């Protein structure tokens, strides 16, 4: 796929066919975790892949699927629960090669969350490359989800990525037109040389 084509397909989808995704494809998408950026190679990403129908239904319930217009989390054949272990970052940055004046650096931003976003994007791109679609949902009942899936206390749940075959009506022309009408001018988002520089 050309990069422009990948970008054109990058969207959050909430309408799936229940058709299963081949196990090899699921493994390949999940395997992007080994290539995901992490500050200082901290490797704090964690992933739980859920394909069992009953477990998917429970995950969907904990993610508040009933608040959406239609079921989508429980329909998607693959759910990937993204997690992050912040301690991996502190462990890495207290090693001798990362110390600043003998101490762990003062973090300018919580890079474990930054890296989680990068990992989410890698999952999306890998799914698109496989001809699939993805969506993302937060999980209001995170503690119950962690109990359900046996996620350790020191791993924070970022959210759930849905992976599957999009329905033919997955992208409604009216939705696309509405989102395009909401798109901010590039000059409002990108600045050159200084903030006041021409976009």
pLDDT tens digits for range 37-96: 999 999 999 999 999 999 999 999 999 999 999 999 999 999 999 999 999 999 999 999
Domain ranges of the chain: 3-170
Alpha helix segments (H runs only) across 36-192: 53-62, 86-92, 111-129, 142-149, 173-182, 186-189
Is the Cβ–Cβ distance between 163 and 127 less than 8 Å?
yes
The predicted pLDDT at position 12 comes to 87
pLDDT tens digits for range 1-42: 678 777 777 778 999 999 999 999 999 999 999 999 999 999
The predicted pLDDT at position 127 comes to 96
pTM metric for this prediction: 0.90
The predicted pLDDT at position 1 comes to 67
Is the Cβ–Cβ distance between 32 and 123 less than 8 Å?
yes
> Domain 3-170 has what CATH class?
alpha beta
pLDDT mean across residues, the chain: 93
CB count in 10 Å sphere of residue 83: 22
Residue whose pair of structure tokens reads 């239904």 in the numeric block: 57
Mean pLDDT score, 114-129: 96
Task: Give the C-alpha separation, 108 to 110, whole Å.
Answer: 7
Task: Give me the half-sphere count of Cα atoms (radius 13 Å) on the Cβ side of residue 171.
Answer: 14
Quickly state the pLDDT bin for 173 (edges 50, 70, 90): low
Q: Which residues of 85-102 are buried (b: 16+ CB within 10 A; e: fewer)?
A: bbebbeebbeeeeeeeee
Q: What percent of the chain has pLDDT over 90?
A: 82
The predicted pLDDT at position 180 comes to 78
Mean pLDDT score, 103-124: 96
- The answer, yes or no, to whether residue 120 has pLDDT greater than 80, is yes
């Amino acid at each position: 796929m050309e990069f422009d084509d990948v970008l054109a397909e990058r969207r959050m989808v909430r309408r799936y066919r229940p058709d299963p995704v081949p196990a090899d494809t699921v493994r390949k998408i999940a395997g992007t975790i080994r290539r995901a950026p992490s500050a200082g190679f901290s490797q704090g990403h964690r992933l739980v892949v859920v394909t069992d129908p009953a477990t998917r239904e429970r995950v969907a319930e904990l993610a508040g699927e009933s608040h959406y217009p239609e079921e989508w989390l429980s329909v998607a054949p693959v759910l990937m629960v993204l997690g992050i272990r912040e301690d991996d970052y502190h462990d890495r940055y207290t090693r001798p090669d990362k110390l600043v004046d003998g101490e762990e650096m003062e973090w300018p931003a919580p890079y474990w969350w930054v890296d989680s976003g990068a990992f989410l994007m890698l999952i999306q791109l890998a799914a698109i490359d496989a001809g699939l679609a993805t969506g993302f949902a937060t999980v209001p009942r995170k503690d119950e989800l962690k109990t359900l899936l046996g996620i350790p206390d020191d791993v924070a749940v970022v959210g759930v990525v849905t992976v599957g075959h999009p329905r033919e009506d997955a992208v409604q022309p009216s939705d696309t037109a509405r989102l395009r009408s909401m798109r901010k001018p590039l000059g409002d988002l990108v600045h050159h040389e200084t903030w006041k520089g021409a976009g």
